[in-house]
């Protein structure tokens, strides 16, 4: 719908309708909606998958911080997915009674469904090591793939990457490296010979911390949305999107930092005092790297870079969930499938029922939930787009045509990113895409 001014009997658009190929979606965004159409089934699908995503995410953020802060530069990190009790019980900064910002109701410790799954897995109760070797566990490899996407693409706004190149960062990392390998002449010798390699590892660990701190917030947000939906308090897709917009603002100023604990001492590799924020240094780069860009997944399809099948410019990479063809992606061992497998364990009953009614029922649940996830991430991306519009541009009910035109240009520029044929924006406009 085009923004209008209501005068008795006359409704005059302040700016002409968009002529963009996605004009319908743009008009919906201008009316306060989401890229995802507002249907009861879309709402049910996205909320159900947020819940299924939040449970493994509760593990991802804890283990990411555990690796960044405790495992650190362990040269043989075979047990990095064996999270310590301390990190499993680590109070979530944005859930639980100890939280300074108590706007989401969840508890501070690991979610009970996660603990139950860690205990039993898909198989049965057995020692942690056997669960690990049988791969009957949370797929941390997915979280690491997301971290690597952020690490590899870099330069996506914020000041995080600039800081990683600074002398202050290098000095902080150097202190931590020397403390970590204190008394280990072999590793200290290697550090002397190959300092850049060690520095690169620490930078990667800073991205572990970055993503862990980002997801620490998202897990309680998604749990809260699921609870509100179950209580009948979240009744439309735009309401779900607005909830996310408010959440983005609420924690926008959360510090992003990287602390390492070595023999009881805290080394601040990226101190909170650098002023890095959740919104600028974590959320926006995350959305860009993971939703839009990522990289071609090995083993699913061959790309010939010399024939320009892979863009020369990293900014043009388009292998994220917003572009994914979920069917071929559904191969074992690649990151999106690892996530789908993780979410499968925590699907609410109403989504299991829904998938049974369509396509090949239980046989292709992973594909169906992958497409549900795609719908839900179009809604999260809509929330990011609306939050940016709200922060940097003008209200949707602004009465200045120049302001509305600026909003229009912003929305159209965002939609331009979905003009390439791989984008799934057109597909999610109908319910047939499953």
Contacts with other proteins, residue ranges (CB under 8 A): 100-101, 103, 157, 159, 245-246, 249-255, 272-277, 280, 284, 388, 391-394, 403
Nearer to other proteins, 21 or 255 (CB): 255
Tell the smallest beta-carbon distance from residue 211 to other proteins (Å): 18
Nearer to other proteins, 42 or 386 (CB): 386
Tell the smallest beta-carbon distance from residue 274 to other proteins (Å): 7
Residue 247 backbone phi and psi in degrees, to 5? -65, -40
Nearer to other proteins, 221 or 262 (CB): 221
Nearer to other proteins, 187 or 393 (CB): 393
Contact 58, 219 (CB under 8 A): yes
Tell the smallest beta-carbon distance from residue 165 to other proteins (Å): 15
**Could you tell me which residues come within 8 angstroms of residue 82 by beta carbon, excluding any fewer than 6 positions away?**
128, 132
Rounded CA separation 387/242 (Å): 9
Nearer to other proteins, 208 or 243 (CB): 243
Nearer to other proteins, 312 or 392 (CB): 392
Helix (H, G, I), strand (E, B) or coil at 51: helix
Rounded CA separation 354/362 (Å): 10
Nearer to other proteins, 253 or 361 (CB): 253
Tell the smallest beta-carbon distance from residue 235 to other proteins (Å): 20
Looking at the DSSP bridge assignments, the partners of residue 12 are 5
Nearer to other proteins, 278 or 346 (CB): 278
Nearer to other proteins, 103 or 310 (CB): 103
Contact 226, 348 (CB under 8 A): yes
- What one-character-per-residue DSSP string does 100-130 give? SS--S---SS--HHHHHHHHH-SS-S--HHH
Tell the smallest beta-carbon distance from residue 93 to other proteins (Å): 10
Q: Is 115 exposed, middle or buried (0-12, 13-18, 19+ CB in 10 A)?
A: middle
Rounded CA separation 107/402 (Å): 46
Nearer to other proteins, 214 or 323 (CB): 214
Q: Is 227 exposed, middle or buried (0-12, 13-18, 19+ CB in 10 A)?
A: middle
Residue 10 backbone phi and psi in degrees, to 5? -125, 135
Tell the smallest beta-carbon distance from residue 331 to other proteins (Å): 37
The H or E element containing residue 259 is strand 258-262
Contact 425, 377 (CB under 8 A): no
Rounded CA separation 23/25 (Å): 5
Nearer to other proteins, 152 or 280 (CB): 280
Torsion angle of alpha carbons 222, 391, 290, 428, nearest 10°?
Answer: 70
Tell the smallest beta-carbon distance from residue 32 to other proteins (Å): 14
Tokens (6 digits) for 380: 């999260």
- What one-character-per-residue DSSP string does 354-406 give? HHHTSTTGGGGHHHHHHHHHHHHHHHHHHHHHHHHHHHHS--TT---HHHHHH
Rounded CA separation 378/365 (Å): 20
């Amino acid at each position: 719908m085009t923004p209008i001014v209501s005068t008795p009997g006359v409704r005059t658009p302040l700016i002409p309708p968009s002529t963009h190929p996605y004009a319908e979606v743009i008009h919906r965004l201008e009316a306060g909606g989401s890229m995802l159409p507002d249907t009861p089934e879309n709402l049910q699908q996205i909320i159900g998958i947020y819940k299924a995503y939040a449970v493994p995410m509760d593990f991802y953020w804890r283990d990411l911080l555990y690796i960044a802060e405790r495992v650190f530069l362990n040269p043989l990190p075979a047990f990095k997915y064996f999270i310590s009790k301390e990190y499993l019980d680590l109070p979530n900064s944005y859930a639980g009674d100890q939280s300074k910002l108590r706007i989401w109701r969840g508890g501070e410790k690991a979610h009970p469904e996660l603990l139950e799954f860690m205990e039993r897995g898909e198989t049965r109760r057995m020692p942690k090591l056997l669960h690990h070797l049988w791969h009957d566990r949370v797929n941390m490899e997915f979280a690491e793939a997301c971290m690597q996407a952020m690490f590899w693409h870099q330069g996506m706004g914020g000041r995080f990457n600039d800081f990683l190149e600074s002398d202050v960062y290098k000095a902080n990392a150097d202190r931590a490296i020397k403390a970590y390998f204190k008394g280990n002449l072999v590793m200290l010798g290697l550090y002397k010979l190959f300092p850049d390699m060690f520095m690169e590892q620490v930078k990667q660990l800073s991205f572990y911390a970055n993503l862990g701190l980002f997801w620490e917030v998202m897990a309680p947000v998604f749990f809260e949305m699921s609870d509100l939906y179950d209580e009948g308090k979240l009744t439309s897709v735009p309401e779900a999107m607005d909830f996310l917009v408010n959440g983005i603002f609420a924690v926008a100023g959360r510090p992003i930092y990287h602390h390492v604990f070595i023999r009881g001492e805290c080394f601040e590799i990226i101190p909170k005092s650098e002023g890095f924020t959740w919104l600028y240094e974590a959320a926006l780069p995350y959305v860009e790297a993971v939703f839009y860009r990522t990289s071609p997944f090995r083993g699913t399809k061959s790309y010939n870079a010399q024939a320009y099948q892979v863009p020369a410019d990293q900014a043009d990479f388009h292998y994220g969930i917003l572009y994914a063809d979920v069917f071929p992606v559904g191969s074992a061992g690649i990151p999106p499938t690892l996530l789908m497998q993780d979410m499968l364990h925590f699907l609410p009953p109403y989504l299991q029922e829904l998938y049974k009614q369509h396509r090949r029922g239980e046989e292709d649940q992973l594909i169906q939930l992958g497409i549900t996830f795609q719908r839900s991430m179009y809604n999260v991306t809509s929330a990011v787009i609306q939050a940016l519009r709200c922060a940097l541009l003008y209200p949707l009910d602004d009465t200045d045509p120049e302001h509305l035109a600026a909003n229009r240009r912003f929305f159209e520029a965002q939609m331009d990113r979905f003009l390439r044929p791989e984008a799934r924006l057109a597909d999610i406009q109908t319910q047939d895409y499953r």
